[in-house]
């Protein structure tokens, strides 16, 4: 393989994973709004497209933090503690991401896009235990089920197909961000 292509291929692969999780996160949020809370549909987030970058960022951080040890059996006696440790790591990572993003959004646009003030265990309405536990459970689904599926899907695609999918997702995503940065107020 040509060494000059490797950094782009790595970027392309991670961008496609990122986008998959951004879209999954958007679907999760819409599901909560429409089915669980019955608020009705609204396009979640700042961007026009059906994706939430905080979920893509969180998922990639989860994978980075858990992949070095996820498939090793870390035991306490005869009990495999790896899923429990993975859950705790995921809860910590996602809670930190959500807190940081809330501050970044407040700094850049004046507010953040969620409010946990009505939850019992919460901090400044930015993070709450309930959401952190849900993200922990979702993170376990990501590392044990979704990511292995996405890897198989990626491996089944031709290089040309990966490149086409990349540009179909990358160009609108960049244009969406440019719209938010320069046109939205």
What pLDDT, on a 0 to 100 scale, did the predictor assign at position 68? 86
5-25 per-position pLDDT tens digit? 688 899 999 999 999 999 999
**How many other CB atoms sit within 10 Å of the CB of residue 77?**
5
pLDDT at 133 over 90: yes
Residue 184 is predicted with a pLDDT of 64
pLDDT tens for 75-99 read: 888 988 899 999 999 999 999 999 9
Q: What distance in Å separates the CA atoms of residue 44 and residue 139, rounded to the nearest whole number?
A: 20
Q: Estimate to the nearest angstrom the gap between the alpha carbon of 142 and the chain centroid.
A: 9
Number of CB atoms found within 10 A of residue 56's CB: 23
Asked if the model's pLDDT at residue 2 lies above 60, the reply is: no
pTM summary value: 0.84
**Distance, CA of 119 to CA of 126 (rounded, Å):** 11
């Amino acid at each position: 393989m040509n060494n000059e292509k490797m950094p782009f291929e790595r970027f392309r692969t991670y961008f496609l994973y990122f986008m998959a999780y951004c879209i999954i996160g958007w679907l999760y949020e819409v599901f909560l709004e429409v089915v669980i809370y019955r608020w009705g549909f609204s396009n979640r987030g700042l961007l026009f497209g059906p994706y939430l970058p905080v979920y893509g960022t969180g998922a990639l951080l989860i994978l980075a933090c858990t992949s070095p040890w996820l498939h090793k059996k870390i035991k306490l006696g005869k009990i495999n503690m790896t899923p429990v440790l993975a859950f705790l790591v995921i809860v910590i990572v996602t809670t930190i991401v959500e807190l940081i993003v809330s501050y970044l959004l407040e700094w850049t646009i004046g507010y953040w896009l969620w409010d946990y003030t009505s939850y019992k265990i919460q901090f400044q309405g930015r993070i709450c235990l309930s959401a952190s536990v849900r993200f922990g459970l979702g993170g376990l689904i990501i590392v044990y089920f979704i990511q292995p599926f996405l890897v198989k899907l990626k491996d089944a695609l031709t290089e040309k197909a990966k490149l086409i999918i990349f540009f179909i997702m990358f160009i609108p995503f960049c244009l969406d961000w440019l719209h938010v940065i320069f046109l939205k107020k």
